[in-house]
Amino acid sequence: MAEQILILDFGSQYTQLIARRVRELNVYCEIHPFNKIPEITPDIKGIILSGSPCSVRDEGSPDLDLDQFRGKLPILGVCYGSQLMAQKYGGEVLPSEIREYGRANLTHLDTHYDLLKEMTHGTQVWMSHGDTIRELPEGFKVIASTPSVRVAAFKIEGEDTYGIQFHPEVTHSTEGKNLLRNFVVQICDCSQDWTSDVFIDASIAELKEKIGNDKVVMGLSGGVDSSVAATLIHRAIGNNLTCVFVDNGLLRKNEYQEVLDSYQHLGLNVIGVDAKKRFYDALAGISDPEAKRKAIGRVFIEVFDDESHKIPGVKWLGQGTIYPDVIESVSVNGPSATIKSHHNVGGLPDFMKLQVVEPLNTLFKDGVREVGRALEIPESIVGRHPFPGPGLAIRILGDITPEKVHTLQEVDHIFIQGLKESGLYDEVWQAGAILLPIQSVGVMGDERTYERVVALRAVGSVDGMTADWIHLPYEFLGKISNEIINRVKGVNRVVYDISSKPPATIEWE
Q: Give the residue numbers marked as catalytic.
A: 79, 167, 169
Residues that bind ligand XMP (CB under 6 A): 293, 386, 388-390, 430, 464, 501, 505-507
Q: Which is nearer to ligand XMP, 272 or 289 (CB)?
A: 289
Q: How far is the CB of 409 from ligand XMP (least distance, A)?
A: 17
For residue 90, count other CB atoms closer than 10 A to its CB: 12
Q: Which is nearer to ligand XMP, 77 or 388 (CB)?
A: 388
Q: How far is the CB of 169 from ligand XMP (least distance, A)?
A: 22
- Reported residue count of the chain is 509
Q: How far is the CB of 504 from ligand XMP (least distance, A)?
A: 8
Measured between its terminal Cα atoms, the distance across the chain in Å is 44
Q: How far is the CB of 219 from ligand XMP (least distance, A)?
A: 12
Is 278:306 a contact under the CB 8 Å cutoff? no
Nearest-CB residue to ligand XMP? Answer: 389
Q: Which is nearer to ligand XMP, 89 or 425 (CB)?
A: 425
Cα separation, 505 vs 431, in Å, equals 13
Helices (H) and strands (E) in the chain, counts: 13, 19
Write the DSSP string, 437-474. EEEEEEEETTEEEEEEEEEEEEEEESSSSSEEE----H
Question: Smallest Cα–Cα separation from 435: which of 416, 412, 414, 467?
Answer: 412
Question: Smallest Cα–Cα separation from 418: which of 405, 437, 431?
Answer: 431
Q: Which is nearer to ligand XMP, 293 or 315 (CB)?
A: 293
Is 35:338 a contact under the CB 8 Å cutoff? no
Give the pairing of strands 314-318 and 355-357.
parallel
Question: Smallest Cα–Cα separation from 311: which of 215, 400, 387, 389?
Answer: 215
Q: How far is the CB of 496 from ligand XMP (least distance, A)?
A: 17
Q: Which is nearer to ligand XMP, 211 or 456 (CB)?
A: 456
